[in-house]
Copies of this chain bind each other. A is one copy, B any other.
Amino acid sequence: MDTALLPVLPSDPSLARDTEELYDALEDLLRVYQFRDRDRICCFDVSVSQCYALEGLVRRGGMTLNDLAAYLYLDKSTASRVVDALERKGYVTRLPHPKDRRAVLLEATPAGRELEGKIRESILAEERQLLADFAPEVRQAMTVLIRRLARAASASVETGGGSCCRIP
């Protein structure tokens, strides 16, 4: 179990309220981003999962299919089909793994890199404007917190074994 980084301060009166507000704000953000991501399909010729997969393959170099499935929190069969689609469109290639003949090495093609760059830049441009209003220390602190939320969620997902209600 990933323990808390610091002990909880039970006397902090604003914690409960701040948490609720963050929860609501995050809920809104997730909802609208899921729509925005769905909408990318028609703009950029990829689906949501395909976009995430492409992004992962550009960010990190060659991953195996299992790596990609873990990165996307998807079943490997689903990841395989996502790669099928990206390969058909010419954004990704399956290469033989040099050390393990069962495995494949996934690589983004130049076209894939270019598409990922276009998507990334279109979103970065929008977000830069928003962040400009915040002091650098605040921006950096927010990134730290968001990373920590992501890591904690990822840890709780992994210790939960992927299925939260399984009681073995």
Contact = CB atoms under 8 A, between A and B. Distances in A.
Q: A interface, how many residues as a size bin?
A: 35 or more
Given A72-B31, A124-B23, A157-B39, A142 B138 contact: yes
A161 to B, nearest CB: 10
A130 B147 contact: no
A128 B16 contact: yes
A48 to B, nearest CB: 8
Interface stretch (A3-11, A79-87, A90-98, A102-110): A3-11
A146 interface: yes
B55 A23 contact: no
Given A27-B52, A164-B42, A19 B145 contact: no
Interface of A: 4-6, 8-10, 12, 14-16, 18-37, 39-40, 42-43, 52, 55, 59, 71-74, 120, 123-124, 126-136, 138-143, 145-150, 152-154, 156-157, 160, 162-165
Given A35-B157, A130-B148, 9 more contacts: A4-B132, A5-B138, A10-B132, A12-B136, A19-B127, A22-B127, A30-B34, A127-B149, A141-B141
